Amino acid sequence: MFSLQSVCLYLFILSSLVSGFTHPGLLVSDADIVRIKAKISARKNPWQASWDKLVALEYSQPSYTDNAVASVHRGTVDGVAGNADLLWHDAAAAFNLALRWKIEGSVTCAETASNILGAWGRTLTSLEVSDDQYLTAGLQGYQLVNAAELLRDYAPFESSGNAQYFIAMFEKIFLAKNLFFLNHQAPSEHNVRHFFANWELCNMASAMAYGIYTDNVTIYDFAVDYFKAGDGNGAINNAISNLVSETGTSATLGQPQEAGRDQGHTGLDFQLFGVVAQQAWNQGDDLYGYNSSRILLGAEYYARYNLGNDVPFEPYTNGIVSYTAVSPASRGAIRPTWELLYAHYVQIKGLDAPWTELYKNHTIESMGGFEGGAGSWGEGSGHYDGLGWGSLLYHLDVADVPAVSSTVPAVSSTVPAVSFTLPSSHSTTTSDLPSPSRTASRIVQSKEPATVASVSKSVPVEPQATKSEETSRTSTLLASHLVSGVHPTLGPALHTSCQPPITKTVYQLPTTIIVYD
């Protein structure tokens, strides 16, 4: 017998299923696969060296056996040691094996990846009760869905029931926690900026990945909207909290929210920026370029400092912690994300990013000639926060750039005004559910500048990619807040707490289906 919770969830998901997403369209696209196959066929480096490393890993073998358990916790709980490594190892294995399926057509690799996801779908019932549950839900959430996305054309993934078990588990455990957390409902959250940027970024990445994989426009748009105008530290204007002027050049740099904390977590922010932006890019939405390429401004700041140079620092506080100087802790830390950032900003878009290029070179040298991936460059949670393999997936020859650049999505002149309906109460019924439309061609149109009547001065934001259906969207809201401020411009002027005049929206599954451990 179906429970009320499962019926509500089914109706919510069904109501939001529409066509128009590109598949595969998360971290890896068909164009990436075609390019990689050609490079490996020609035995060109760094693709070949990276591929050789990937296929030699224990986490890439068709003989790999899943480690699915009923409950996952990162830390010690009631005297029982943490076991989250079981999940992050399996997530890495599922992705690596799914990549092998796409690149070399190995059916045995696809079957093993399918079985890993199916095993977790049939077995996992809870994540730990501490706040670390949200890290697991975010970090391993987007990784698992990226593996599933690469198995879309492996028919037994569906026919075996593995896909169905996986996504049902994901909706109940991972997605529910992603949305609960991003809606600021975690009991320990003292204010909306309580948690550091990486916590929100990974949950955005997970929710976005789910939205794309399931063709759910509501969840996808929630993640995109939160990135642009959320009120927590994962939103781009809070994650890159200040714009400062580089000494000697007056070039604008972006001070990351976690820069005063340590460089290891700040590096994680850029790894997750890459995930969120690349997933959206493969759907025709340019978050890389949002607000004058604010991700790049932050990457330049981080790379400059972590290569041993001084950077300006504006005092930072979020009401929980306060920092007066950039932190030297874990300075020079590397994470496999710089191939992606360099390829996008410098090669595809032709922008100047000298510090990003130098840090990409530093990362490649530190990793032995190519950017590795999960399971290839060390153990511990930090080594599995990202899937990596940037040299294999994103490295471009000069000859590759024209072909890649031709796929740049159209960009509108402004961010559109978005209209939403706020229910009279917090209760959600099937009649409240959104009925969005998404055209299969993903047409991008020019819109009028977004303005908010209650804001005395409204400044249009920089050109951004938009979706033709956004102005007709109606969504269930549990809260509605306006964020406004001065839009940042390139140059020596310093701006803090910059927010575009855009409505901040909150989406949430019906409360009756959110089950917590």
- Stretches in the chain below the pLDDT threshold 70: 1-19, 403-517
Instruction: Please state, in angstroms and rounded to a whole number, the distance separating the CA atoms of residues 207 and 228.
Output: 15
Q: Check residue 454 and give its pLDDT.
A: 25
| Cβ partners under 8 Å of residue 500, min gap 6 | 228, 229, 237, 291, 415, 450, 459, 461, 483, 484, 485, 487
- CA 84, 509, 190, 230 dihedral sign is positive
Which pTM was predicted? Answer: 0.78
Q: Check residue 377 and give its pLDDT.
A: 82
For residue 332, is it left (φ>0), alpha (ψ between -120 and 50) or beta?
A: left
**Rounded to an integer, what is the distance from CA 112 to the centroid of its chain?**
25
Q: What is the separation, in whole angstroms, between the first and last Cα of the chain?
A: 22
Q: Check residue 408 and give its pLDDT.
A: 57
Cα distances (angstroms) measured from residue 230 to each of 105, 370, 482: 41, 35, 10
Residue 172 DSSP symbol:
I
| Cβ partners under 8 Å of residue 315, min gap 6 | 322, 323, 324
CATH architecture of 4-409: Alpha/alpha barrel (1.50)
Q: Check residue 75 and give its pLDDT.
A: 84
- Three-state SS for 157? helix
Q: Where are the domains of the chain?
A: 4-409
- Are the C-beta atoms of 149 and 25 separated by less than 8 Å? yes
What does the pLDDT look like over 348-367, one tens digit per residue? Answer: 999 999 999 999 999 999 99
Q: Check residue 487 and give its pLDDT.
A: 25
